[in-house]
């Protein structure tokens, strides 16, 4: 995976993806797609361990992708972060 595959650098942390997320709107402890997508992806790319316990709460509805004005593939980043945690 290349870093620019999901336009990670285009994320300006505007939080529009959080506003579009149905889980974020009903669970005040859920960190939201901004944190679980671009922010967690940056940490993963740098090899920094991060809490990924909230990843399973993502519904995969892609509303964050549709809402992002900068074309960041937030749901793809979350799906990729989930993938290694699943048993084979």
Domain layout of the chain by residue ranges: 3-83
Give residue 88's pLDDT: 53
Q: What is the pLDDT of residues 62-72, one digit of tens each?
A: 999 999 999 99
Q: What is the pLDDT of residue 80?
A: 87
Tens digit of pLDDT at every position of the chain (88 positions): 454 555 788 999 999 999 999 999 999 999 999 999 999 999 988 989 888 889 999 999 999 999 999 999 999 999 988 886 555 5
Number of Cβ atoms within 10 Å of the Cβ of 43: 15
What is the value of pTM for the model shown?
Answer: 0.82
Q: Where are the alpha helices (DSSP H) in the chain?
A: 16-20, 22-26, 32-34, 40-46, 63-67, 74-82
CATH fold of 3-83 reads Fumarate Reductase Iron-sulfur Protein; Chain B, domain 2 (1.10.1060)
């Amino acid at each position: 995976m290349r870093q620019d595959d999901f336009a990670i650098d285009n994320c300006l942390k505007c939080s529009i993806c959080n506003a579009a997320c149905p889980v974020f709107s009903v669970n005040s402890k859920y960190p939201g797609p901004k944190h679980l997508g671009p922010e967690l992806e940056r940490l993963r790319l740098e090899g920094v361990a991060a809490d990924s316990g909230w990843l399973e709460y993502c519904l995969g509805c892609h509303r964050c992708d549709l809402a992002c004005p900068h074309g960041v593939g937030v749901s793809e980043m979350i799906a990729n972060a989930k993938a290694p945690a699943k048993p084979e």
